[in-house]
Amino acid sequence: MSNSCFNVPTMFQTFGPEDLFSRRCIWVNGPVIVGAGPSGLAVGAGLKNEGVPFIILERANCIAPLWQRRTYDRLKLHLPKQFCQLPNFPFAEYFPEYPTKYQFINYLESYAKHFDINPHFNETVQSAKYDETFGLWRVRTISTGGPNPVEVEYICRWLVVATGENAEKVVPEFEGLQDFGGHVTHACDYKSGQSYSGERVLVVGCGNSGMEISLDLRNHNANPSMVVRSSVHVLPKEVFGKSTFELAITMMKWLPLWLVDKIMLIIARLILGNIEKYGLKRPSIGPLKLKDTAGKTPVLDIGALQKIRSGEIKIVPGIKKFSRARVELVNGETLNIDSVILATGYRSNVPSWLKENEFFSNDGIPKNPFPNGWKGKDGLYAVGFTRRVLSGASLDAISVGHDIAKSWKEETKQKKKSMAARH
């Protein structure tokens, strides 16, 4: 699959013993895939089926670290399993319609095993740059798997960015937070409400994580107040026993997006009632349009709304500032609180390492919207940035796998021809 690239003298450098890292240079006869989450695994599986060699680089020491390390215990997939499976490997029949996070992790591990995908773990990409002179990508990493850190440079024709939209946590700055004195954590480090029992907890953010954490806290006898700074779409998880998402997908086959949005809002009003009176203001743009244009996912209610109605989860406006054991809100109200959980979301980390500014925007998302955001130029690809959850990532993975396989086979044929001609 790969061999040392010292036969490319212009890319080979020597370093003195005073160097901090030992450096290695590796030629990859196929693509380098960055990220071993569902997107990276799906691309790998497609390439395996086509007989194309590849390397997957993963900074953590396991596949799907977002799922394994940075999700709370009670998490279940918000969408039915048929929308979350990866290509060519369905979920086991006995899995429930909404698998738990543990079942999903188990599925991903089975997927990697089935396709014999073995990522290079503990390898963090420092930079990836296209070398115009040679028409190759140079991917520099630091490998921390051994006793000493090793710097490695991979040379390849194709680069697949599969680090996703949720690579880094977003931690906003709040005035006075350093003086608060209580426990402050990001949602990615939250596991369960058990340790918060009896506490007054401020949950900052009202997306799916904020809602679900608030519900979990209340179920563990904590007293959550949830900050709702802007507007939010809340939809029922199911309509007449059918997944709301499935219903929307079905309607979109026959109806324009704006009409599906209108129908969804009418259904939400009928099932959930008027939620604005509880402080949950709806955006002026419909839920599907908003997801499409701004990437804001509507909240699928799994029980938090009932606790909001009963006052067990308190809705509060934006934060003005923190002080010792309390928070002042923009409406002048002051709350005494013990802990803060920041359900303030995640972002892409692509701009920090990919030295390229044509294909990806400054916020680390491909500039071209779905379904045309998977292919850049010079052998650059992206998977898992569709804002269309796992089903979008799977579609992109299939496109990327086919496209790379086609180029790889053509190039391999050309090489064989030129070698035969030489002999």
Does 358 lie in the same domain as 225? no
The answer to whether residue 91 sits within a structural domain is: yes
Q: What is the pLDDT of residues 266-310, one digit of tens each?
A: 999 999 999 999 999 999 999 988 887 777 889 999 999 999 999
Instruction: Assess whether pLDDT exceeds 50 at residue 2.
Output: no
Which range has the worst mean pLDDT, 121-125, 232-236, 419-423?
419-423
The answer to whether residue 12 sits within a structural domain is: no
- For the chain, how many structural domains are there in total? 2
CA angle 262, 75, 366 (to 5 degrees): 60
Query: Which residues on adjacent β-strands are paired with residue 238?
Result: 243
Instruction: Using the 3D structure, point to which of 345, 366, 394 is the last residue of a domain.
Output: 345
The answer to whether residue 83 sits within a structural domain is: yes
Range of the domain at 99: 24-167+348-421
Query: Which residues on adjacent β-strands are paired with residue 158?
Result: none
The answer to whether the beta carbons of residues 335 and 327 sit under 8 Å apart is: yes
CA distance 19 to 11: 18
Residue position matching structure tokens 């925007």: 361
Q: In this structure, how many other beta carbons lie within 10 angstroms of the beta carbon of residue 254?
A: 8
Instruction: Using the 3D structure, point to which of 345, 366, 391 is the last residue of a domain.
Output: 345
The answer to whether residue 125 sits within a structural domain is: yes
Does 175 lie in the same domain as 124? no
Q: What is the CATH number of the domain that holds 226?
A: 3.50.50.60
Residue 227 phi, psi dihedral angles, 5° rounding: -80, 120
Does 195 lie in the same domain as 327? yes
Does 253 lie in the same domain as 321? yes
Residue 110 is encoded by which pair of tokens?
């089975």
Does 203 lie in the same domain as 338? yes
Does 354 lie in the same domain as 283? no
Q: How confident is the model at residue 17 (pLDDT cuts 50, 70, 90)?
A: very low
Q: In what order do the strands lie in the sheet with 159-161?
A: 55-57, 32-34, 159-161, 380-382
Which range has the worst mean pLDDT, 17-26, 90-99, 171-180, 410-419?
17-26
Does 192 lie in the same domain as 57? no
CA distance 102 to 90: 16
The reported pLDDT for the residue numbered 419 is 66
Does 331 lie in the same domain as 255? yes
The answer to whether residue 13 sits within a structural domain is: no
The answer to whether residue 154 sits within a structural domain is: yes
The answer to whether residue 184 sits within a structural domain is: yes
Does 150 lie in the same domain as 162? yes
Residue 199 is encoded by which pair of tokens?
């506490």
Strand pairing report for 22-28 and 32-34: unpaired
Which range has the worst mean pLDDT, 46-55, 73-82, 133-142, 169-178?
73-82
Q: How confident is the model at residue 388 (pLDDT cuts 50, 70, 90)?
A: low
Does 192 lie in the same domain as 117? no
Distance of CA 101 to the CA centre of its chain: 14
The answer to whether residue 143 sits within a structural domain is: yes
Does 320 lie in the same domain as 263? yes
The reported pLDDT for the residue numbered 372 is 73
Instruction: Assess whether pLDDT exceeds 50 at residue 118.
Output: yes
The reported pLDDT for the residue numbered 418 is 67
Instruction: Assess whether pLDDT exceeds 60 at residue 126.
Output: yes
Does 49 lie in the same domain as 92? yes
Which range has the worst mean pLDDT, 226-235, 285-294, 314-323, 402-411?
285-294
Q: Which amino acid is at 125?
A: V
The reported pLDDT for the residue numbered 369 is 72
Instruction: Using the 3D structure, point to which of 345, 364, 380 is the last residue of a domain.
Output: 345
Strand pairing report for 22-28 and 2-4: antiparallel
Q: Of 224, 212, 238, 222, which is closest to residue 71 (Cα–Cα)?
A: 212
Instruction: Assess whether pLDDT exceeds 90 at residue 173.
Output: yes
The reported pLDDT for the residue numbered 22 is 55
Tell me the average pLDDT of the chain: 89
Question: What are the b/e assignments for 329-351, b being 16+ CB within 10 Å?
Answer: beeeeeeebbbbbbbbbbebbbb
SS (H, E, C) the chain: CEEECCCCHHHCCCCCCCCCCEEEEEEECCCEEECCCHHHHHHHHHHHHHCCCCEEECCCCCCCHHHHHCCCCCCECCCCHHHCCCCCCCCCCCCCCCCEHHHHHHHHHHHHHHCCCCCECCEEEEEEEEECCCCEEEEEEEECCCCCCEEEEEEECCEEECCCCCCEECCCCCCCHHHCCCEEEEHHHCCCHHHHCCCEEEEECCCHHHHHHHHHHHHCCCEEEEECCCCCCEEECEECCEEHHHHHHHHHCCCCHHHHHHHHHHHHHHHHCCCHHHCCCCCCCCHHHHHHHHCCCCEEECCHHHHHHCCCCEEECCEEEEECCEEEECCCCEEECCEEEECCCEECCHHHCECCCCCECCCCCECCCCCCCCECCCCEEECCCCCCHHHHHHHHHHHHHHHHHHHHHHHHHHHHHHHHHHC
The answer to whether the beta carbons of residues 153 and 2 sit under 8 Å apart is: no
